Amino acid sequence: MTVPGLLTFGETLAAFGTAEGKLRHASTVDVGLAGSESTVAIGVARLGVEAAWAGRVGADEPGALVLARLREEGVDTSAAVTDHEAPTGLALKDFRSRDSPRVAYYRHGSAGSRLCPEDVCEDRIAAAGVLHLTGITPALSGTAAKAVLAAVEVANDEDVPVSFDLGYRQALWSPQDARETLLDLVTRADIVFARDDEARLLGFDGTPEELASSLSSLGPEEVVVRLGPRGAVAELHGSRYDVPSYPIRAIDSDGADDAFVAGYLADFLTEAPPERRVRTAAACRALALSVEGDWEGLPDREELTQLPRPR
Amino acid sequence: MTVPGLLTFGETLAAFGTAEGKLRHASTVDVGLAGSESTVAIGVARLGVEAAWAGRVGADEPGALVLARLREEGVDTSAAVTDHEAPTGLALKDFRSRDSPRVAYYRHGSAGSRLCPEDVCEDRIAAAGVLHLTGITPALSGTAAKAVLAAVEVANDEDVPVSFDLGYRQALWSPQDARETLLDLVTRADIVFARDDEARLLGFDGTPEELASSLSSLGPEEVVVRLGPRGAVAELHGSRYDVPSYPIRAIDSDGADDAFVAGYLADFLTEAPPERRVRTAAACRALALSVEGDWEGLPDREELTQLPRPR
Amino acid sequence: MTVPGLLTFGETLAAFGTAEGKLRHASTVDVGLAGSESTVAIGVARLGVEAAWAGRVGADEPGALVLARLREEGVDTSAAVTDHEAPTGLALKDFRSRDSPRVAYYRHGSAGSRLCPEDVCEDRIAAAGVLHLTGITPALSGTAAKAVLAAVEVANDEDVPVSFDLGYRQALWSPQDARETLLDLVTRADIVFARDDEARLLGFDGTPEELASSLSSLGPEEVVVRLGPRGAVAELHGSRYDVPSYPIRAIDSDGADDAFVAGYLADFLTEAPPERRVRTAAACRALALSVEGDWEGLPDREELTQLPRPR
Amino acid sequence: MTVPGLLTFGETLAAFGTAEGKLRHASTVDVGLAGSESTVAIGVARLGVEAAWAGRVGADEPGALVLARLREEGVDTSAAVTDHEAPTGLALKDFRSRDSPRVAYYRHGSAGSRLCPEDVCEDRIAAAGVLHLTGITPALSGTAAKAVLAAVEVANDEDVPVSFDLGYRQALWSPQDARETLLDLVTRADIVFARDDEARLLGFDGTPEELASSLSSLGPEEVVVRLGPRGAVAELHGSRYDVPSYPIRAIDSDGADDAFVAGYLADFLTEAPPERRVRTAAACRALALSVEGDWEGLPDREELTQLPRPR
Amino acid sequence: MTVPGLLTFGETLAAFGTAEGKLRHASTVDVGLAGSESTVAIGVARLGVEAAWAGRVGADEPGALVLARLREEGVDTSAAVTDHEAPTGLALKDFRSRDSPRVAYYRHGSAGSRLCPEDVCEDRIAAAGVLHLTGITPALSGTAAKAVLAAVEVANDEDVPVSFDLGYRQALWSPQDARETLLDLVTRADIVFARDDEARLLGFDGTPEELASSLSSLGPEEVVVRLGPRGAVAELHGSRYDVPSYPIRAIDSDGADDAFVAGYLADFLTEAPPERRVRTAAACRALALSVEGDWEGLPDREELTQLPRPR
Amino acid sequence: MTVPGLLTFGETLAAFGTAEGKLRHASTVDVGLAGSESTVAIGVARLGVEAAWAGRVGADEPGALVLARLREEGVDTSAAVTDHEAPTGLALKDFRSRDSPRVAYYRHGSAGSRLCPEDVCEDRIAAAGVLHLTGITPALSGTAAKAVLAAVEVANDEDVPVSFDLGYRQALWSPQDARETLLDLVTRADIVFARDDEARLLGFDGTPEELASSLSSLGPEEVVVRLGPRGAVAELHGSRYDVPSYPIRAIDSDGADDAFVAGYLADFLTEAPPERRVRTAAACRALALSVEGDWEGLPDREELTQLPRPR
């Protein structure tokens, strides 16, 4: 009765951060977690669709924290691997000034970056409704890059749709290093999410609509090009779709893109029609923007129904 | 009029931790700092004697935090080095259960571990009343080990007394690796602080008094062997001194050894007689034990006068 | 490879409470959950054995809170039922004075008390390693009492061992009303946990050892009679076993009995020998006593190994 | 010298709530109280006019909390009744998303809902300057409805003005059930506060001004029809009065209507002219809107003088 | 039906303080109030006897805080005076180390110290069951001293019993200055509470029993000499009474003496026999000792019944 | 290599305050410090220029707090004087309603107000790059006024530039009392900061530009007239300079003027050209406005580079 769900993997970090102001002035910080893939998994689970997160955590308290918080949100963590050799990575967030957050990462040599092809569980992938990956993971380490490729190959073989969010992170690799890997993964994916600057990094040019067409021409049947506050354009199965914009006061942009992906994939998994997928995606993004934190604002189905009409 | 003060260097980390309970159950954690040498510097400063801490921090918020908190305590940080290539290390503390704290370190490749001989400021050492070092620093990296040796050589040349706390940390190096380095430093030091198990690690044997004598025979004129809750024995300039024990309820043992060292060195710098040095040291340890946290319980002179008489 | 796990059901409430002092003086209260069966499930899960909790929660935030916190602890909640007609019950805890907690319940007509035989999932019971129930549930409502009986019948038919903790609650029913129901359930159970006053309520008399024998004579092969701070006696498969006592400072007695049950059942499920079951049970109780809160102190396997030897 | 004051009764609940976000993500919640009538009483007391609240609370901590917080605000609680049979009701508030609060009530069978005619103290009513009641109370229970009627009859007999706020709550009764009771109370009241939708529920139609006239035609000499953010219209002793609107940033609309009523009645009691009553009422509403919480923003006289001029 | 209650006056300050540790390390402090007389008033009110506090507060927020917190505790503040010329005094509390609190006062020229004979309300005194004063008030200022004397004269004239707690405060006046004033007040009082060192300050000598007799010989029919942790002795109407000691863990000694006075006077007002007065007084002291804070631990009647038997 | 830095003196108070709402509703308050001169010193230090603060604090915890927080910010406090006779002053801040803060001062007879000419350290002044003073200090006491004059005389003799911020405070003295003192100080200063109403208080008239010219005609070569939200005008060395305005959302205006001064003086000390001084000053003001608190928002050099372009 339940539809096959989302399977995703990547690195999730234990996160410490101020609610406002610089760390140096703080006497306490909030505890949470950070990771694009796990944010997507939480978002899908909140929308009532099964979601599983795989990845490595250390055999330590930050690792226990990551697993506990994901389970709390209803995300299946039974495919996660505990690494007894390396610690769980950390993220440290504070604010230079109001509305200008910054994050420092302590992930060098972390358990999460030691992901390797052996961690890829073929049965899990074969049973999934969609495999979601990001361009962050191949940038973490050589073995992590191999794990991503191995997973995509299994999914391709098993006819499991692959969703890929380019997620280019300047701090992790150079545009030159990233280009080939990201291009390869776009080619093998069925659903692709890219920011317009990421599409240009791959060598494409033109309007957002042209960027979406260019990415589609590489193979993926569903492509969304995100433009930040200016919205998004979607080319799905050869047709262009308007991505609506919701009149909501933006509070915190962290995690908004992951909310968009979560909304899209939850509707993809329940086979909603394309125009509803993009609407749900945009609505999730709007609601995530309206609440502080990476994942706190991810909505459930009931909240979606209470949004004002898009503009 | 002010006496020449303490100069110390080593790694100080930004620290996050629960007040009780496991991290996984925490929604916020406290922010502080951790580092044996800086704890000693704070302790000396609180006793009204000048203290300076040198070491490397990253050009980041945890580094700004370390410097701000030390300055707040009146410790001179003007000799500290800001490293633009590496991040400040972190310490993560929580409690398995009541009274059983544990600490995880994120210091691999940290700014603090990149200390090198160039960071050793000869003028500063020459002007100091005592140079205090620990066996933790040479375990951090090859350059850090060289920096320690270079500093000791400058101090020896300039007739500045060297204080050395063995501070063997099992997580950082093996007993085999540690032995030679620690033995060498004991030989070059004027004041040595060792736990009884550290004395045995160097190859000595016998009662605590015999251990103190053995260490003294290597050169240092002042040796204290600490025995945890069972007290300490001191051999100073060839004589044995009783280290008194204070009837105080122990709350948190972290930092108690550093408080002992701080009390001893503050009195050494003000040329108090040997029996007062060990009394002040023991009193500082007792007061530090009676307050939660590594350095919060370090006393000022007025508090010392309010302690009940030792047993 | 994983052993069949624990299945339990009962009412779990969203809990609000002060850490110390009266509610009237509080400006904030802590948020948690309360329920004997779910505390046992958390305890079993922490010991590395699968545990599932079933029961009803309302379609409201307190219900979402209950499910989220249980999942966070690794307890399977997929058999829980969401009741759209009734709210999740609440518990309100504060302290008259230090060390004298009191709890008020808002559970009349609650979702949890509306448990009914239809909620009993036969397949789940058949697949479980043990079915654990308490005498609290039949006191909640007529349908809840029927649900307990129905579950026991399924377990008996399927040869699934039944664990029963008498858990007599004066506020819920009179001794007269309770006696018959509890006696019937003891007779159908394989493992029975009772306080000495509960054994006497059933009409038995004599020393704790005699009470254990009397309960055993009703059918259950494993009987533990708990005596609060004075320890416990066990009659297992016709032999008497000493229940050791651990020298630990008691902080909070709430949940200590549930910790005992959790320790016992985790070892029962992994087929540890009887003397180890009672030792693990006593150790879990000791560790739960040493930490504030109902379930925060429930240990994992590693913590068990760090306990001092029993007296 | 002091004017006869306000007497009001109804149910006041102990309230727990998040400051933002869902309960399920909270580790602590704030403690307060909730109840339309007691909010009005606090508002009147803050404006320097005597105010007394009557009603039932349980013999429990939530009841002690309700009485303590009201006394703290200078409200006389000496006429309140402690019910030893039933608990004080609770309110649980959280936020679906920013600016969308929701409240769940645990008031079924509560002490507050067991209000009965015997609780009505004739001497108190006879000595009051105004008796203020709401349409919430008759919806709580049959005895509460009778208590309201009994009180109104005493007030009518003693020539004590009756103020009535329709306060229709959909969760408590149907429009059909409510209509007759509310109509009866409007007829017996001297001052009536209604939202435009409440006036329509009674069967009236037309513009806000027409609704006010229709209500006036039932008997009350002073009628205010509130229109939420669009302001209010008043028909007082046959004349129409403009209700000014203040240019203030709205933060929290809970309690804003009660602030309006408090401002109106405080000025009524001190015999301010009609145009000042509506101005004070509107000013109190504006200030309550500008502060988070039901009653925290209720102003004192000095704050009223500091408001910018109305538009 | 209710007995005439307590009337007391003196200075009450707004209090800020850490829960543990020094102010310099605190990022937040707790807000409360401090004042011996108001602590007694709260204690009496909690025991179900009417209590009123008079005194001066400034027309400022600290003054509003003092009045609000007293009203919250059911203390009648209608006789308090608001002083528009001077600010409410402050108390600042922190801890040198665990269990060693210290308090700094900002009360020079405060509203509370400007108490004057005109503030003494004769009707109030005439209607009281007992007038309670302390030796702190005459030390605050010349007008405050006159106000105390004037009040005692009214009480003496009206046959209202006077209770007097010597409350000598070294920081406010010298023993020489205090002696005459305190002696005069003891002579005019009916009930006297003194510490043994205060009795000696008046010039008396001998055992605690002899000190009590000496004080009695000055006029008061009921005298209690308090000995801190060593208990107390009472000479009431010519007979000696044992003051029992309760086996309770002491947490915070601030306010314990005021709790004793409150217990004694509440029972005096309800005309309990002498042996019960001293028992209630001792029980209140024990319960106050067992809770942190000046007044938080003051018990109600129900709590008194739950104390273990005295030793 | 480092440029001669700022030397300033005045009174700095320990500050307690709510983050929002009235004190009477608060259960905790935040701890900080308040003082115009120390805020300027922090601002200059954050911009990487040496800054020292002198002034008197009591030998108490509030004094220890003031010194610790200043040192934490890198401000040199070695010239501060500890007064063993008088307490450190306090500031108490809360909010009448959102955006309407108010501050009460407890500084009468405080250590800070007992500043006297003996506290003026001639060597320190001679070595400074600029001496910064405000019109608040001469209003504190006769000795403080003398200390200001003495310091200005030393600076004038030693050719150290004097910066003077009129800082007229109505609560401290009357316009009549202030005029002569302020006029005298303007005449002796090199750099003057005045609000337009302060310039008028000195007897000048006209447009802001005319006010700046009038002040310049008294002697100072650099004059800035601040107009609050309407910006500022500067007359520097005979030329007029535009003071840019930055498009930033204002959160808290406390400390904004001090931020302006800090930015100006930091650039003055590093000999930046006039147009850059006013730009940095305006940028610091904008950033301070965008963060809550007096000094929390003072920027470092890196933050300045991230401001959007001025309008």
- HEC states along chain F? CCCCCEEEECCCEEEEECCCCCHHHCCEEEEEEECHHHHHHHHHHHCCCCEEEECEEECCHHHHHHHHHHHHCCCECCCCEEECCCCCCEEEEEECCCCCEEEEEECCCCCHHHCCHHHCCHHHHHHCCEEEEECCHHHCCHHHHHHHHHHHHHHHHCCCCEEEECCCCCCCCCHHHHHHHHHHHHHHCCEEEEEHHHHHHCCCCCCHHHHHHHHHHCCCCEEEEECHHHCEEEEECCEEEECCCCCCCCCCCCCHHHHHHHHHHHHHHCCCCHHHHHHHHHHHHHHHHCCCCCCCCCCCHHHHHCCCCCC
Provide the shortest C-alpha distance from residue F283 to chain E (in Å): 28
Neighbours of chain C (3+ CB pairs under 8 A): A, B, D, E
Alpha carbon C10 to its chain's center = 9
Two structure tokens written together for C62: 């307190």
Chain B residue whose CA is closest to C302: B96
Q: How many CB atoms lie within 10 A of CB C178?
A: 21
Residue D114 sits at φ, ψ, to 5 deg, of: -90, 10
Catalytic sites of F, residue numbers? 258
- Asked if pLDDT for residue D107 goes beyond 50, the answer is yes
- Per-residue pLDDT of D55-66, as tens digits, reads 999 999 999 999
Residue B311 pLDDT more than 70?
Answer: no
Which residues contact residue A63 at a Cβ distance below 8 angstroms, ignoring those fewer than 6 apart? A14, A57, A82, A88, A111
Please name which of E83, E111, E12 lies closest in space to residue E52, comparing C-alpha atoms.
E12
The minimum CA-CA distance between D105 and chain C, rounded to whole Å, is 9
* Rounded Cα distance, F68 and F280, in Å: 28
Closest residue, chain C, to B23 (C-alpha) = C296
Instruction: Say which amino acid occupies D172.
Output: L
The minimal CB distance from F96 to the residues D249, D292, D303 is found for D303
Catalytic positions of A, please?
258
Q: What is the pLDDT of residues D148-172, one digit of tens each?
A: 999 999 999 999 999 999 999 988 8
Can you tell me the mean pLDDT for F241-257?
Answer: 75
Task: Determine the 3-state secondary structure of D251 from DSSP.
Answer: coil
- Cβ contacts of A98 on chain F, cutoff 8 Å: 249, 251, 290-291
CA distance linking residue F201 with residue A184, whole number of Å? 73
- Per-residue pLDDT band for C97 (boundaries 50, 70, 90) equals low
pLDDT digits (tens, 9 = 90+) for D279-293: 999 999 988 887 666
DSSP 8-state code for residue A182: H
Sign of CA dihedral B55, B59, B61, B64: positive
Name residue, tokens 């009193």.
B283
- Active-site hit among B258, B267, B294, B300: B258
CB contact under 8 A, D71 and E69: no
Residue with more model confidence, B156 or A25: B156
- pLDDT number for residue D250: 61
Q: What is the mean pLDDT of residues B38-67?
A: 95
> How does DSSP assign C145-169, residue by residue?
HHHHHHHHHHHHHHT--EEEE----
User: What is the per-residue pLDDT for B4?
Assistant: 83
- Is the model's pLDDT at D1 over the cut of 50? no
- Which helix (H) or strand (E) segment is E157 a member of? helix E142-158
D39 vs D296: CA distance, rounded Å:
9
Question: What backbone torsions phi and psi does residue F243 show, to the nearest 5 degrees?
Answer: -100, 110
Phi, psi dihedral angles at A120 (to 5 degrees): -80, 115
Which tens digits make up the pLDDT trace of D232-276?
999 999 999 988 877 666 656 668 899 999 999 999 999 999 999
Residue C275: strand pairing partners: none
DSSP string, chain B: -PPP-EEEE---EEEEE-SSS-GGG-SEEEEEEE-HHHHHHHHHHHTT--EEEE-EEESSHHHHHHHHHHHHTT-B-TT-EEESSSPPPEEEEEESSTT-EEEEEE-TT-TGGG--GGG--HHHHHH-SEEEEETTGGGT-HHHHHHHHHHHHHHHHHT--EEEE----TTT--HHHHHHHHHHHHHH-SEEEEEHHHHHHTT--SSHHHHHHHHHTTS-SEEEEE-GGG-EEEEETTEEEE-----------TTHHHHHHHHHHHHHHTT--HHHHHHHHHHHHHHHHTSSSSSTT---HHHHHTSPPP-
Closest CA to F38 of F104, F105, F132, F149: F132
Q: How confident is the model at residue D205 (pLDDT cuts 50, 70, 90)?
A: very high
How many angstroms away from the CA of A22 is the closest CA of chain F?
A: 9
Residue of B nearest to C297 (CA): B97
Residue A77 to chain C, least CA–CA distance (Å): 9
Q: Which of C76, C196, C258, C267 is catalytic?
A: C258
d(CA C3, CA C129): 7
| Average pLDDT for chain B | 91
CB contact (8 A) between residue C87 and residue D109: no
Closest chain A CA to residue D23: A296
Give the Cα separation of B243 and B276 in Å (integer). Answer: 10
**Beta-carbon separation of B98 and C290 below 8 A:** yes
Cβ of E303 within 8 Å of Cβ of C97? The answer is yes
Q: Do F87 and E104 touch (CB under 8 A)?
A: yes
- Any chains having at least 3 CB pairs less than 8 A from chain F are A, B, D, E
The pLDDT of residue D310: 65
- The average confidence (pLDDT) of chain F is 91
Interface of C with E (CB under 8 A): 20-21, 25, 96-98, 100
Catalytic residue among E83, E190, E258, E294: E258
Q: In what order do the strands lie in the sheet with B191-195?
A: B51-54, B6-9, B130-134, B162-165, B191-195, B222-226, B232-236, B239-242
Radius of gyration of chain A (CA): 18
Read off the tokens for C51. Answer: 């545990």
Q: Which residues of chain A have a pLDDT value below 70?
A: 1-2, 97-99, 247-254, 291-293, 308-311
Per-residue confidence (pLDDT) for residue A251, from 0 to 100: 57
CB pairs under 8 A between D and F: 17
Q: For residue A5, which amino acid is it?
A: G
Q: Which residue of B has its CA nearest to C252?
A: B98
- Pairing status of strand C232-236 against strand C222-226: antiparallel
When pLDDT is cut at 50, 70 and 90, the band that residue C247 belongs to is low
E51 CB neighbours in chain D (<8 A) are none
pLDDT at A289: 81
Query: For residue B249, what pLDDT band results from cuts at 50, 70 and 90?
Result: low
Phi first, then psi, for residue D152 (nearest 5°) are -60, -40
**Rg of chain F over CA atoms, in angstroms?**
18
Radius of gyration of chain B (CA): 18
Does position C278 have pLDDT exceeding 60, yes or no?
yes
- Cα C68 to Cα C62: distance, rounded to the nearest angstrom: 10
Half-sphere exposure of C268 (CA within 13 A, CB side): 28
Q: How far apart are CA E114 and CA C242, in angstroms?
A: 71
The mean pLDDT of chain C is 91
A with D: how many residue pairs have Cβ under 8 Å apart? 17
Query: What pLDDT shows up at residue B1?
Result: 40
Look at residue E98 in the predicted model and tell me its pLDDT.
63
The catalytic residue among D83, D94, D196, D258 is D258
Closest to C283 in 3D by CA, of C256, C255, C254, C252: C256
pLDDT at residue D244, rounded to an integer: 83
pLDDT given for residue D251 in this prediction: 57
- Percent pLDDT > 70 in chain C is 94
Rounded Cα distance, E228 and E245, in Å: 11
CB contact under 8 A, E97 and B249: no
**Chain F residues with CB inside 8 Å of E23's CB?**
14, 31, 61-62, 64-65
Chains that touch E (3 or more CB pairs under 8 A): B, C, D, F
- CATH topology classification for E6-301: UDP-N-acetylmuramoyl-L-alanine:D-glutamate ligase (3.40.1190)
Alpha helices in A242-300 (DSSP H): 256-269, 274-289
d(CA E130, CA E146): 19
The pTM of the full predicted model, rounded to 2 decimals, is: 0.84
- Residue segments in chain E with a per-residue pLDDT below the cut of 50: 1
Neighboring chain B residues of E100 at a CB cutoff of 8 Å: 306
**Closest CA relative to residue F165, chosen from F212, F77, F224:** F224
DSSP code for A88: P
- Beta strand F81-83 with F56-58 is parallel
CB-CB neighbors (< 8 A) of F97 in chain D: 287, 290-291, 297, 299, 303
Share of chain D above pLDDT 90, in %: 75
Q: What is d(CA C80, CA C90) in angstroms, rounded to the nearest whole number?
A: 17
Is the confidence metric ipTM above 0.95 for this complex? no
**What is the predicted pLDDT for the residue at E251?**
57
- Asked if A68 and C69 come within 8 Å (Cβ–Cβ), the reply is no
The question of whether C258 is a catalytic residue gets the answer: yes
Contacts of C69 in chain A (CB under 8 A): 72
Chain F nearest-CA distance from E220, in A, is 40
3-state secondary structure of C232: strand
Position C253 confidence tier, pLDDT thresholds 50, 70, 90 = low
pLDDT at B136: 96
pLDDT band at F1 (very low <50, low <70, confident <90, very high): very low
Task: Classify D96 as helix, strand or coil.
Answer: strand
Does the beta-carbon distance from F97 to D296 stay under 8 Å? Answer: no
- Residue B40, both tokens: 């000693």
Q: What is the pLDDT of residues B279-295, one digit of tens each?
A: 999 999 988 887 666 77
Search chain C and give the residue with CA nearest B96.
C303
**H or E segment and range at residue D262:** helix D256-269
pLDDT, chain D, mean:
91
List the single residue in E62, E65, E109 with the smallest CB-CB distance to F108.
Answer: E109
- Our CA-based measurement puts residue B122 at a distance from the nearest CA of chain E, in whole angstroms, of 34
Query: Which residues, 6 or more positions from A191, have their beta carbon under 8 angstroms from its beta carbon?
Result: A130, A161, A162, A163, A164, A220, A221, A222, A223, A264, A265, A268
What is the spatial distance between Cα E215 and Cα E225, in angstroms, rounded to a whole number? 9
Residue F26's identity, in one-letter code, is: A
